[in-house]
Structure 1
Amino acid sequence: MTASEQVFPDRRVGAVWEPVRARCYAAAGAYLAFTEELDTAEATAAPVPDGPARADALVRQLNEAARGVDEFYHARREGLAEAGRVRAAVPQLLTHVRAEAEQALAAAASSEFGYYPSVRRGVSNLDEALLTASAVDPGSAVAGAREAAAAVQEATAELSNALSLAPSRTTAAANAIASVTTRLAAVRNRAGALGPAYSALLREFSAASSADLTNNERESRRGIEAADEALVGARVAAADRDPETALELTATAREYLAQAEQLVDAVTRRLEMLREVRTDPDAQARTVRFRLRDAQMLAVDRGLVAEWGSVLDAQAERLDRITAGLTGRHPDYWAYVTELGTVAEFIAGVVDRIRKNVAEK
């Protein structure tokens, strides 16, 4: 029972056992009281009131208590046995994981890569896990001891993995530096098109069409410069025989380059998209109207016109207003595209709700 409470506290075996034990104590107390009364009656030759009936009731109470104990153990025999085996094995488990941990620490101490950040971090984590495990008593805190053993195993695996990867870090860092160097050059080349593209946006379209892109050139340049700085740091770290730091810095450089690419592409793609819209303004509107007709037909097919018909009709009127807004020498094509996208998103949401409504019926 104690083992089960220590090993598997979530099973709450003790709480289930409590009423069974209470019935046993009650039956034992009634038995002792009745036998004491019988002894007194025998010594004084006094009659026992309702003796036979009370004796029968006491026998039934004792049998019910015994049956409760049998049922409890039969229903939980395997679990209780398992808890006993686990509790008995915990000290051996701790001994085993400590031995493995000491081997890993010894390997780290003798490794030529012991100064690598991942190895130093692994040693620190394992030392901390061992310290925690040494403070746990497996006899009184089985669950805590098992958790501590698992933590030692995990930290040992982390350190062993760092040691196994260490020999390949130099090659990995060299490859990463070469890759980022190539990507940096490519992003710089692409960034050269940002300025002309932004100027074309200002010349060909309304200022509102590129207002959100005003800072892209400056911010992309900052990203490229930050990536270059990180790459220089990676080269220095690699030269200092610190490939792990080099890998971390190349990862940082990649993040900066990804941000710079997004900023550059946002401008060039905006110019391409607006030119396409200007060539055929009705193309995107036709696509949205087609989706609207599909949604309207779906509402009819599912018998939900009363609920969604007017909502979808309102989107048709909204589309008319959006297309009518393309006026003037420099129409706001970006607002046009944005509003069409909003309508398309709204229609998609209605379609999803219609399908969900039908599926729930």
Structure 2
Amino acid sequence: MVASEQVFPDRRIGTVWEPVRARCYAAAGAYLSFTEELDAAEAAGTPVADGPARADALVRQLNEAARGVDDFYHTHRAGLAEAATVRATVPQLLTHVRAEAEQALAAAASSGFASYPSIVAGARRLNEALITASASDPGTSVAAAREAANNVAQATTELSNALAQAPSRASAAAKAIASVTTRLAAVGNRAGALGPAYSALLREFSAASSADLTNNERESRRGMDAADEALVGARVAAADRDPETALDLTATARAYLAEAEQLVDAVTRRLDLLREVRTDPEAQARTVRFRLRDAQMLAVDRGLVAEWGSVLDAQAERLDRITAGLTGRHPDYWAYVTELGTVADFITGVVERIRKNASEK
């Protein structure tokens, strides 16, 4: 019972046992009281009132208490045995995991990779887990001792894994540095087209079409400079035999490059898109109108014209207003594209709701 409460407190076996124990105590108390009364009556030579009936009732009470104990034991026998076994093995478990932990710490210290951040962090976590395990007493808190042992085992595995991966870190860092160096050069070359592309946007289209791209050249340069700085740090770390720091810095450089790349591509892609729209403005609108017709046909097929017909018809009118807005010497093609995209997104949302409504019916 005690073992189950310590090992598996969530099973609350003590709560289940309490009424069984209470019936046993009550039956034992009734038995003692009745035998005392019988002894007193025998000494006085007087009969006990309702003696036979009370004796029968007492026998039944004792039998019910005994049956309750038997039922409890048969129901929970496996769990109680499991808890007893676990409690008995916890001290051995703690001894085992401590031994493995000491071996892992010794291997890390003598490996030549002890200064790697992953090894330093892994050894620190393992030592902390060992301190907690040393403070655990299996005799008073089996559950806490088991948890401490499991934490030591997990920390040992993590340190061992880090140690196994350590030899490959240097080559991985060298490859990462080479890859990021190549990518930085590529982004730098692409950035050379950003200035001319932005100038073309200002010459060929309204200022509003590129207002959100004003700072892209400066911000992309800032990102590339930050990536270059991180890359320099990675080379220094690799030279200092700290490949893990080098890998972290190359990851930082990649993140800066990704941002710079997006900023560069946003300008060149905007120019290509607006030129394409200017060549055939109706092409974008035709695509959206085609999606609108599909949505209208879907509403008809699903019997939802009453609910969605007017909503979709309104989008057709909205498309007419958008295309009619392309006027003047320098129409705002970007606003045109953006508004068409908004309509397309709205239509997509309507289609999803139509399908959802139909599936629920």
For residues 1-361 of structure 1, what are the structure 2 equivalents within 5 Å?
A: 1-361=1-361
1:11 deviates by 2.0
Q: Determine helix, strand or coil for the equivalent of 1:112.
A: coil
User: Equivalents in 2 of 1:327, 1:16: separation in Å?
Assistant: 83
User: Equivalents in 1 of 2:184, 2:235: separation in Å?
Assistant: 14
TM-score, normalised via structure 2 length: 0.93
1:21 is matched by which residue type in structure 2? R
2:244 is matched by which residue type in structure 1? E
Q: Determine helix, strand or coil for the equivalent of 1:175.
A: helix
1:351 deviates by 2.2
> Structure 1 regions of 5+ residues with no counterpart?
none
1:97 deviates by 0.7
User: Equivalents in 2 of 1:12, 1:294: separation in Å?
Assistant: 61
1:123-156 C-alpha deviation (Å, 9 max, x unpaired): 2111111111111111211111111111111211
**Is 188-197 or 104-113 further displaced after alignment?**
104-113
1:295 deviates by 2.3
Q: 1:68 to 1:289 in 2, by over 3 A?
A: farther
Q: 1:66 to 1:303 in 2, by over 3 A?
A: farther
User: Equivalents in 2 of 1:102, 1:248: separation in Å?
Assistant: 29
User: Equivalents in 2 of 1:3, 1:308: separation in Å?
Assistant: 66
1:191 deviates by 0.8
**Is 251-260 or 33-42 further displaced after alignment?**
33-42
User: Equivalents in 1 of 2:31, 2:268: separation in Å?
Assistant: 94
User: Equivalents in 2 of 1:348, 1:56: separation in Å?
Assistant: 81
User: Equivalents in 1 of 2:56, 2:170: separation in Å?
Assistant: 86
User: Equivalents in 2 of 1:331, 1:101: separation in Å?
Assistant: 72
1:190 deviates by 0.8
User: Equivalents in 1 of 2:300, 2:25: separation in Å?
Assistant: 72
User: Equivalents in 2 of 1:290, 1:34: separation in Å?
Assistant: 96
1:37-70 C-alpha deviation (Å, 9 max, x unpaired): 3333333343433333333333333333333322
User: Equivalents in 1 of 2:46, 2:315: separation in Å?
Assistant: 100
Q: 1:203 to 1:70 in 2, by over 3 A?
A: farther
Q: How much identity, in percent, do the aligned residues show?
A: 85
1:79 deviates by 1.8
2:138 is matched by which residue type in structure 1? P
TM-score, normalised via structure 1 length: 0.93
1:229-254 C-alpha deviation (Å, 9 max, x unpaired): 11111111222222222121111111
1:277 deviates by 1.9
Q: Determine helix, strand or coil for the equivalent of 1:138.
A: coil
User: Equivalents in 1 of 2:57, 2:285: separation in Å?
Assistant: 89
1:32 is matched by which residue type in structure 2? L
Q: What root-mean-square deviation, in Å, do the aligned CA atoms of Structure 1 and Structure 2 show?
A: 1.9
User: Equivalents in 2 of 1:207, 1:12: separation in Å?
Assistant: 73
Count of paired positions? 361
Q: Determine helix, strand or coil for the equivalent of 1:328.
A: coil
